[in-house]
Structure formats: structure tokens, C-alpha cells
Amino acid sequence: MAQYLYVIDTGITTTRLNGIDYPGGISVGQTTYDLLVDERYNHGVIPVENTVGFWRATEDSVGIYVTDRYLVGIGTSVGIGVGQDYQLMVTGTGTSTTQLNVVGVTTLGGITTIGGATSIGNNLYVSGFTTSTTYTSTGTLSSTSTSATNTVDASTTQLYHHSAVFSASTTFQISNLTDGKYVYLYIKNNSTVSAPQISITASETTSGYTAVYLSRSGSRSVTEFNIDTQGGSPTRNGTAVVWVANIDGNLVGSLS
């Protein structure tokens, strides 16, 4: 059976705290149960289990800090005037829990590690082993350039759309393709007369580009390919989708 540790106001007058009057002292006919109920609301009754010990309120940032605003800090002070106004603040290393349910907008600052299969809302699903280092780019970019050389910066662009009237061989070079980064290129030829040759190169920096071998299902890999013309009946478009990535220092790609 749980024990209770509580503090009784032994004064005979009413105690006023934060604009609220609390009854003081022990009235005639008041039972032990009444004391427990009163003190739970007035001062806070703390159940003490022999196996888990008890909570201790402190006046500094050591241990568990409790204020009269019903704010709780573990390893930190809480409340207006110390820069925080949250219901619960926890600091220090070694904080852990076997299950955490969060409802509403959640902001994670610093380094966050998620292990196991995790589902977050309707947007993020992680299964198995997933590692994310410094690559957080989800940028998109569109271009209609007819230049013979087009550069796509992998540090800012992950999805690239290029629609143009190609008249000659064209090279797409992927810059800043460091380990773990990848880019999808959608290339569309709007020409009705020219089926240009397309080459894909990449570099971990902004120079020293090398040809990327593109795998094709059931076929030999290539470093260049041709895009068909636009035309025919019904009208068709010459298109290609290219995926280029740096996997552990290896520049690889696929063509579809």
C-alpha cells in the first residue's frame, strides 16, 4: 500500500498564494482522508513506494524542480524569469524512455538518432537501417537551357527538370555530389528533327568531372545515350529519367 508524504499548514489563518485562498490548519472533525485530499490540492501529496523512492522538490537546478505554476524541471530550473515556460523541461545526458508519444508540432534540435522501424505521422516512414549524415537537400530546379553543358548542383538540388529543344550533343554535369547524395534528372527533348546525344558526368566538387556509368535493366551500362525526337501520331515526346548518386565514394547512376 502506498504511503503519503505531505506537508500540513499548521497556521490558523487562510494562506493566500498567487491570488488563491487555501485553508490553513486542521479543523475540528477533519479525518486523515480529508487531510490527504486537502493537502493533495493545496500542497501536493506524493505517493511513496518502497521500491521506487519518492519525488523531491528542490530550489535549484539539481534533482526535480517544481514551481507553484505546476511546472516541472528535471535537472533544470523552470518557470517565467529563467527563460523557460514549458510544463516539463528535461536536461542532461542519459535521458531515455522506452516509448514516447508526441501529438502536435514537434521540433527536434541538434543531433537526433532514430532506431528501429519508425512511423511519424503520414509523412515519414523508416524501416530497417537508415543513415542520414549532412544531406538534407530536397530542392527542385527546372531549366529550358539549350546550352551544350548544363550544371546541376547536388548540394541544393535533388529533383531536376530539363525541357528544351535540343539541337546538338549535350552534357549534364552533377557538381558537389558528395558521399550519400543523389539527384534525379528528368530530361525532355522538344525537338522534332534532332535526337541529341546526352552525356552524364559528376564530381564531388565543382571540377574534375568524370563520366558516370548508367545501368539499364537487361542491357550493358552506358555513359551516353540518345533522346528521341518529338512527333509522330499520336504525338510522342523523347524523354529520359536519370538517377545519379555517390555511394561510399562511388559515382553511379541508372537510366530509364
pLDDT at position 96, please?
A: 73
CA–CA distance from 6 to each of 3, 16, 59, 145, 242 (Å)?
10, 19, 18, 77, 70
Q: Quick one: cell of 254? A: 541508372
Q: Are residues 26 and 44 in the same domain?
A: yes
Q: Are residues 229 and 178 in the same domain?
A: yes
Note whether residue 97 is domain-resident.
Answer: no
d(CA 105, CA 251): 38
Q: Quick one: cell of 181? A: 547524395
Q: Are residues 77 and 166 in the same domain?
A: no
Q: Are residues 32 and 80 in the same domain?
A: no
Note whether residue 99 is domain-resident.
Answer: no
Note whether residue 75 is domain-resident.
Answer: yes
Q: Are residues 50 and 65 in the same domain?
A: no
φ, ψ at 9 (rounded to 5°): -75, 110
C-beta neighbour count of 42 within 10 angstroms: 18
Note whether residue 128 is domain-resident.
Answer: no
Note whether residue 189 is domain-resident.
Answer: yes
Note whether residue 193 is domain-resident.
Answer: yes
Nearest to 162 by CA among 145, 179, 149: 145
Domain limit, last residue, from 11, 28, 55: 55
Q: Are residues 85 and 8 in the same domain?
A: no
Check if the beta carbon of residue 206 is closer than 8 Å to that of residue 174: no
Note whether residue 223 is domain-resident.
Answer: yes
Place of cell 543513415: 131
d(CA 112, CA 134): 12
The percent helix, strand, coil of the chain (3-state, each to 5) is 5, 40, 60
Q: Are residues 193 and 236 in the same domain?
A: yes
Q: Are residues 145 and 223 in the same domain?
A: yes
pTM as predicted: 0.50
19 confidence band (pLDDT: 50, 70, 90): low
Mean pLDDT, rounded, for 146-163: 95
Domain limits for position 246:
140-255
d(CA 106, CA 118): 15
C-beta neighbour count of 70 within 10 angstroms: 8
> What are the tens digits of pLDDT across the range 45-92?
444 444 444 455 555 555 677 665 567 777 777 665 555 557 777 777
Question: What's the total number of domains in the chain?
Answer: 3
Place of cell 524501416: 127
Q: Are residues 46 and 63 in the same domain?
A: no
> What are the tens digits of pLDDT across the range 213-235?
999 988 899 999 999 888 776 66
Q: Are residues 144 and 239 in the same domain?
A: yes
Q: Are residues 146 and 247 in the same domain?
A: yes
Note whether residue 130 is domain-resident.
Answer: no
Beta bridge partners of 22: 15
d(CA 67, CA 1): 28
Mean pLDDT, rounded, for 100-128: 62
Q: Are residues 62 and 50 in the same domain?
A: no
pLDDT at position 9, please?
A: 46
pLDDT at position 71, please?
A: 73
